[in-house]
């Protein structure tokens, strides 16, 4: 198929496109003069021909700004471990421990521990994909926990400790499927993966005392015996990816 370049377009079409671009610029100027705050929803009340095109243009601008951040929601057993590991990676801006995948809105930690709410303990990871990709996060995810034991990580037993990826977009889903195939093909684990790949629906942040739990409680027995060895191994294997 022959490519069509802008210079090959009819003169009338190029003039029409130029006028439309100028009109949108003029509308932006009028919106700014009217002291419109260009925040999400801050221009929604503007209607009429003077602001036609402003909504779409501003929305695209916010999409570009938001593209510098992406969110991954991963369950790999106790969220104290998951938070401690992923928070040390370059490009990771924030890690929140919490719960996803259940049927009870805003559950407490005690409720989730009963195994009756359907939730998994997860880490919600906000990251800059220009520094570390979703694929790289998943490659690390599959090496820092055992994704072959259903509803269990070591001595932690229960559906809340299941291995699970909650994908937020079709692109995340495709990436996860690709990484899972690679893990299986490379025989990284001696048994088949049992990691669930399910669409994200909701995330409920855990109570405040769970935040930075390993950092705040390094001498707590669970931290000493379970988390600390995992973190040491992780730091050794991924030294080049750690924050300085």
180-210 confidence digits (pLDDT tens): 999 999 999 999 999 999 999 999 999 999 9
- Asked if 78 is an active-site residue, the reply is yes
Is the confidence at residue 3, as pLDDT, over 50?
A: no
pLDDT of residue 40: 41
pLDDT tens sequence across 35-50: 444 444 444 444 544 4
User: In angstroms, what CA-CA distances link 176 with 71, 126, 130, 138?
Assistant: 14, 17, 18, 7
Q: In the chain, what percentage of residues exceed pLDDT 70?
A: 73
Domain ranges of the chain: 10-63, 70-241
Residue 194 corresponds to which tokens in the numbers above? 């049992």
Q: Is 161 helix (H, G, I), strand (E, B) or coil?
A: helix
Q: Which of 78, 81, 113, 223 is catalytic?
A: 78
Calculated CA dihedral for residues 76, 215, 89, 70, nearest 10 degrees: 70
Q: What is the pLDDT of residues 129-181, one digit of tens each?
A: 999 999 999 999 999 999 999 999 999 999 999 999 999 999 999 999 999 99
Angle (CA) 89-91-97 rounded to 5° is: 60
Beta-sheet strands, E only, within 137-195: 152-153, 156-157, 163-167
| pLDDT one-digit tens code per residue, 89-142 | 999 999 999 999 999 999 999 999 999 999 999 999 999 999 999 999 999 999
Each residue of 141-150: b (16+ CB within 10 Å) or e? bbbbbbbbbe
pLDDT of 68: 85
Handedness of CA 126, 129, 135, 137 (dihedral sign): negative
pTM of the model: 0.73
Euclidean distance between CA atoms 51 and 169, whole angstroms: 31
- Given the candidates 3.30.1060.10, 3.40.50.300, 3.10.20.310, 3.30.70.1230, the CATH classification of the domain at 70-241 is 3.30.1060.10
pLDDT at 29: 53
CA distances from 74 to 103, 131, 175 (A): 18, 19, 14
């Amino acid at each position: 198929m022959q490519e069509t370049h802008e210079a090959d377009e009819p003169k009338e079409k190029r003039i029409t496109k130029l006028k439309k671009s100028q009109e949108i610029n003029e509308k932006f100027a009028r919106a700014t003069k009217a002291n419109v705050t260009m925040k999400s929803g801050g221009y929604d009340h503007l209607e009429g021909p003077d602001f036609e095109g402003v909504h779409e243009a501003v929305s695209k601008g916010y999409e570009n700004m938001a593209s510098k951040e992406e969110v991954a929601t991963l369950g790999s057993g106790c969220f104290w471990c998951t938070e401690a590991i992923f928070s040390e990676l370059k490009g990771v801006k924030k890690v929140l421990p919490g719960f996803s995948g259940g049927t009870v809105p805003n559950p407490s930690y005690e409720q989730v521990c009963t195994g009756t709410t359907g939730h998994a303990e997860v880490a919600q990871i906000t990251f800059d994909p220009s520094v570390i990709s979703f694929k790289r996060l998943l490659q690390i995810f599959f090496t820092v926990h055992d994704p072959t034991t259903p509803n269990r990580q070591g001595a932690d037993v229960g559906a809340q400790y299941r291995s699970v990826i909650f994908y937020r977009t079709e692109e995340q889903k495709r990436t996860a499927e690709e990484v899972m195939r690679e893990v299986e093909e490379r025989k990284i684990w001696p048994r088949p993966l049992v990691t669930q790949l399910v669409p994200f629906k909701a995330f409920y942040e855990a109570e405040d005392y769970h935040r930075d739990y390993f950092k705040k409680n390094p001498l707590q027995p669970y931290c000493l015996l379970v988390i600390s060895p995992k973190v040491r191994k992780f730091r050794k294997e991924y030294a080049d990816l750690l924050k300085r």
